[in-house]
Structure 1
Amino acid sequence: MKPNTHSHFRRLAQSLLFIFILALATNGYSQTSSPKTGRVERIKVHGKGLEGNLAGDSPDRDVSIYLPPSYQTDKKRRYPVIYFLHGFTDSDDKWYGLTKHWINLPAVVDKALADGKTKEFIIVTPNAYNRYFGSMYSNSVTIGNWEDFVAEELVTYIDKQYRTIPQAGSRGLAGHSMGGYGTIRIGQKHPETFSSLYLLSPCCMIPNMGGPGGSEMAARMEGVKTVAELDKADFITKAMFASAASWSPNPTNAPFYLDLPVKEGQPQPMVTAKWAANAPLATLDQYIANIRQLKALAFDAGSKDASIAATNKVLDAMLTNYQIPHTYEEYDGDHINRIGERIEQKMLPFFTMNLSSEPVKGGKK
């Protein structure tokens, strides 16, 4: 029995060694194939159309860029791009985890990739925070030509510097709040640049025809005389100044170079008209032919975000009236509490479905 015993222990040792080697190999495999994270770069992009703005903001803008996990290893691969626009008083660094904030966009994207909910994209966010706490992504001598910067200059720069698929079918435009406004504002004018749009809780969709909101609001606005006073103002007052800088600029009205919708306590109809001319729900009819060229359009808002949910319903009705395919959803949430979840579960799958990952020969830029 002794030879058999030795043989038994030898086989047992071999089996244990095999299991040990297998465990090492399996452990090694899990490390190399564990979910990888993308990389964030923050660069400067010069805006020719932002030069000489009366607010004195630099035309050299910070831009945060999310490069997907395979970007560094698959050197020949090209990627579709999502241009993502942040909201009022926000900035690119807040959204990209470079400054503590209520959301970390790269972490959201990494999670969606790990869960198989999205394909890989380059994601680009310009810093639209300015002297007035937000550009409204509009063209104005006071703040510079932000609409043109996003739709033309930024896209051209990114296509030259990164391995993008430089055509509309592989470009999406999205944004939150002010960024959602910028998305529909720019997207409805530039189907030759962006093929798919996703609006997260878009603000500023309808003109404020009722004026500035009463005598108290008018007094607060007109009480702001200096930049220091504006910096200390409440959120709504800041938003009114940002809107005026974007939509009713006045190159001779120092120090802010804008016209407010109230003067000496009286509503200013011409200013109100200018603001209405920048409201997407007021201008949508002019761009129906462009909107029909889009491959996909989606928008959502939380039910507790009442005014924005209400304007989303109007947008839904208008698009339905024109028989334009779109996706509209109202969910249980407020203006910010479920935005990360919406990006992960709705926005990224939307672009996964609608943006092409393959260049189209002879396709439009």
Structure 2
Amino acid sequence: MRKIVIVLAVLFLLGGNVSAHAATLELPKPTGRSPVGVTELHLVQHGRADPWFPTETRQVMVSVWYPALPIGRRAPYVAPALAKHYETEPPIGVRTDWGSVRTHSYVNAPALPGRFPVVLYSPGVGNSRTMGTILAEELASRGYAVVTVDHTYETAIAFPGGQVKTDKAFDLPYEDPAEIEKAKQRLMDAREHDVRFVLDSLGGLKMLDLSRVGMVGHSGGGVTASRVMQVDRRVDAGINMDGWFSFGYNRPELGVDRPFMFMGAASSPQMPPLYGKPRTHLSEPDWQRFWQASTGWLLDLNVPAGRHYTFTDAQWLLPQLGGDHTGFLGTVDPARAIDAQRAYITAFFDQHLKGRPQPLLTGSSPRHPDVSFIR
């Protein structure tokens, strides 16, 4: 099982030793009108046993990003306890100074007046919710409340009081291939339950308009989005960014009956089943099954020069730290790739959560030459 996820957990695979550039790492500024605030929530699901350690109660950490007054200090990109953890236990043996990196969002800043449509974000399998920070800040600056979710025991997570829970799920003894498949299924089932629990827990935040909810995810998070939509009518629209359905059984043949968008790239050599070919509903059998079974509004976009992690913060950070040594980003220009994702994802939710038709979603745009419409 460790071999399955180690290739997926590449957020912090950004150099050999502590990088001389780490202190100058910067995220791109959000382009919307509103400053952004962020707050963390520690959510405990009483009555639900943790799927990996049944003697524990399931608990998750989330961040809520929202339009806010620019008051206070800018939030760290990585929680201090987690940055300290990476000093002694760097993921995949890699060290870099994450404690010095800041977001553009203000910690616990007062929200702007009003109630904002909600977008849930689930990261890829084995990845941190941190990987969606650039997208979260962008959407929040444009009038959304974005809830980024960590799935406990898939990755190292900082909890209140400085406690760090690590990716212990993948250290369990999996020797039988059948047990590995069961673990994959347990992982995806746990993600679906996590997101629905998070949605249950947001009612106390008055700034959230829970009558308008979307979900976006990368890799396994994108499949989590479709799974949640299939069982929870509260989610009105979803996006799968380069996630394949074959990690466990994830019901592609059921499709969805509400708006859904695929965003794919050329599959990384490490990422089955396409090996370098574009992941689209025309080339990926499970995407095709999902597409044909769905009855809602659909769109399939592809970034042919991108790779699997083009749809994460790694697309922006890796080039700042000496380039992509992982093969997960492809050759697409980082700034153009980030701009395109911001534009299309915002347009999708503007159209389907805010009811504002978006010409950008109707065909190719000269402003975003790296993006292909798959018909």
- Structure 2 length as normaliser, TM-score? 0.52
Aligned counterpart in structure 2 of residue 171 of structure 1, from 213, 224, 229: 213
Instruction: Answer whether contact 1:137 1:147 (CA < 8 A) is retained.
Output: no
- From the superposition, tell whether residues 132 and 42 of structure 1 become closer, same or farther in structure 2 (CA, over 3 Å): same
In the alignment, structure 1 residue 80 sits paired with structure 2 residue 125: no
The residue aligned with 1:90 is 127
Counting only pairs closer than 5 Å after superposition, residues 292-311 of structure 1 correspond to structure 2 as 292=257, 294=258, 296-305=259-268, 307=273, 309-310=278-279
Q: Deviations over 1:237-263 (max 9, x none)?
A: xxxxxx6xxxxxxxxxxxxxxxxxxxx
Q: RMSD of aligned C-alpha atoms?
A: 3.5
Q: Give 1:303 shift.
A: 2.2
Q: Residue type matched to 1:150 in 2?
A: V
Alignment partners' CA distance in 1, 2:111 and 2:59: 30
Q: Give 1:178 shift.
A: 1.2
In the alignment, structure 1 residue 330 sits paired with structure 2 residue 302: yes
**Runs (5+) with no aligned partner, structure 1:** 1-33, 97-103, 114-118, 207-242, 244-274, 359-365
Alignment partners' CA distance in 2, 1:109 and 1:42: 17
In the alignment, structure 1 residue 150 sits paired with structure 2 residue 187: no
Alignment partners' CA distance in 2, 1:316 and 1:52: 30
- From the superposition, tell whether residues 46 and 334 of structure 1 become closer, same or farther in structure 2 (CA, over 3 Å): same
The residue aligned with 1:196 is 237
Q: Residue type matched to 1:148 in 2?
A: H
**Runs (5+) with no aligned partner, structure 2:** 1-31, 70-108, 154-167, 172-181, 313-337, 357-375
| More strand, by proportion | 2
Q: Give 1:297 shift.
A: 0.7
Instruction: Answer whether contact 2:139 2:146 (CA < 8 A) is retained.
Output: no
Which structure has more relative contact order (CA 8 Å, sep 6+)? It is 1
In the alignment, structure 1 residue 280 sits paired with structure 2 residue 251: yes
Counting only pairs closer than 5 Å after superposition, residues 1-365 of structure 1 correspond to structure 2 as 35-48=33-46, 50-55=48-53, 59-69=58-68, 72=110, 74-75=112-113, 77-96=114-133, 104-109=134-139, 113=141, 119-130=142-153, 131-132=168-169, 140=186, 145-151=190-196, 153-167=197-211, 170-190=212-232, 192-203=233-244, 205-206=245-246, 275=248, 278-281=249-252, 284=253, 287-288=254-255, 291-292=256-257, 294=258, 296-305=259-268, 307=273, 309-310=278-279, 312-313=281-282, 314-315=285-286, 317-318=288-289, 321-322=292-293, 324=295, 325-332=297-304, 333-337=306-310, 339=312, 340-356=338-354
State the structure with more CA Rg: 1
Instruction: Answer whether contact 2:217 2:240 (CA < 8 A) is retained.
Output: yes
Alignment partners' CA distance in 2, 1:201 and 1:49: 34
Instruction: Answer whether contact 2:67 2:112 (CA < 8 A) is retained.
Output: no
Q: Give 1:193 shift.
A: 1.3
Q: Residue type matched to 1:156 in 2?
A: D
Identical-pair percentage:
14
Alignment partners' CA distance in 2, 1:155 and 1:344: 24
- From the superposition, tell whether residues 58 and 126 of structure 1 become closer, same or farther in structure 2 (CA, over 3 Å): farther
- From the superposition, tell whether residues 316 and 161 of structure 1 become closer, same or farther in structure 2 (CA, over 3 Å): same
Number of residue pairs matched by the alignment: 226
Q: Give 1:108 shift.
A: 4.1
- From the superposition, tell whether residues 73 and 342 of structure 1 become closer, same or farther in structure 2 (CA, over 3 Å): same
